[in-house]
């Protein structure tokens, strides 16, 4: 009997060694370890083409601005997407000046080109973005031209013509008074007109001048992704 038991035991061990995979399949499957998972941060997407009203913080003028100078502004109205606040008012906006051109003596209007580079939320959360100028509704004389958002000043051809005409009239009066003849008036008018034209040509056209508080409409040029948790976090 003991011999029979020994034979059965050896046969069982031999079968297990010859078929390890089938033997293992009969074992209960190991349960995976349970670990805590973190919920991914919810992102907020600001679509390209979104327009955001800004208020300029510092003055900008083509008279003294230079390429590379910083631009500072802040959002003046809350931005919502789908009924959800994504950019609160008072969020700081940083930018840079790309090109400055003063008005010419004879022709050419003053122009300035700038773009915006980042949003700084009240709690310090900063997001890099590509954005440009869409409009300057708060500017008195300036307007935006072209697709790149160049801010252009007004011309002064009319002012130069008025200067030349006024000086010519003054010269005519002086010439007539000095000679008492029409010939003197004509000569004085010609001299005065030439002087007025010279004065007008020496002066530049008006500069672009954006004062603090000027309303600027910014446009987002590519989709902007915000971390919802950080964007809503209160300021420390």
Are 221 and 195 members of one domain?
A: no
> Per the confidence metrics, is the pTM higher than 0.75?
no
Identify whether 177 is part of a domain. Answer: yes
With a cut of 70, list the residues of the chain below it in pLDDT: 1-41, 105-106, 155-204, 233-236
Are 179 and 190 members of one domain?
A: yes
pLDDT in tens, 111-145: 999 999 999 999 999 999 999 999 999 888 899 99
What is the count of structural domains for the chain? 2
Are 131 and 222 members of one domain?
A: yes
Burial class (CB in 10 A: 0-12, 13-18, 19+), 100: buried
> What is the predicted pLDDT for the residue at 171?
43
Are 79 and 90 members of one domain?
A: yes
Contacts of 78 (CB under 8 A, 6+ apart): 85, 87, 88, 89
Residue 196's domain comprises 157-202
Identify whether 99 is part of a domain. Answer: yes
Identify whether 188 is part of a domain. Answer: yes
> What is the predicted pLDDT for the residue at 154?
85
């Amino acid at each position: 009997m003991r011999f029979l038991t020994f034979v059965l035991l050896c046969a069982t061990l031999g079968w297990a060694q010859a078929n390890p995979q089938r033997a293992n399949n009969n074992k209960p499957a190991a349960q995976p370890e349970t670990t805590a998972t973190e919920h991914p941060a919810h992102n907020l997407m600001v679509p390209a083409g979104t327009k955001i009203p800004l208020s300029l913080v510092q003055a900008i003028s083509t008279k003294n601005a230079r390429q590379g100078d910083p631009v500072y502004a802040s959002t003046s109205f809350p931005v919502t997407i789908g009924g959800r606040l994504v950019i609160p008012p008072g969020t700081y906006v940083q930018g840079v000046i790309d090109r400055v051109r003063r008005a010419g003596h004879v022709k050419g209007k003053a122009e300035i080109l700038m773009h915006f580079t980042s949003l700084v939320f009240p709690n310090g959360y900063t997001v890099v973005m590509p954005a440009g100028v869409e409009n300057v509704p708060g500017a008195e004389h300036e307007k935006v031209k072209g697709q790149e958002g160049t801010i252009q000043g007004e011309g002064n051809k009319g002012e130069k013509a008025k200067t030349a005409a006024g000086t010519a009239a003054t010269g005519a009066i002086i010439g007539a008074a000095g000679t008492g003849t029409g010939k003197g008036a004509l000569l004085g008018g010609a001299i005065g007109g030439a002087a007025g034209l010279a004065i007008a040509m020496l002066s530049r056209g008006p500069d672009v001048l954006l004062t603090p508080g000027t309303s600027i409409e910014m446009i987002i040029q590519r989709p902007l992704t915000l971390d919802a948790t950080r964007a809503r976090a209160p300021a420390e």
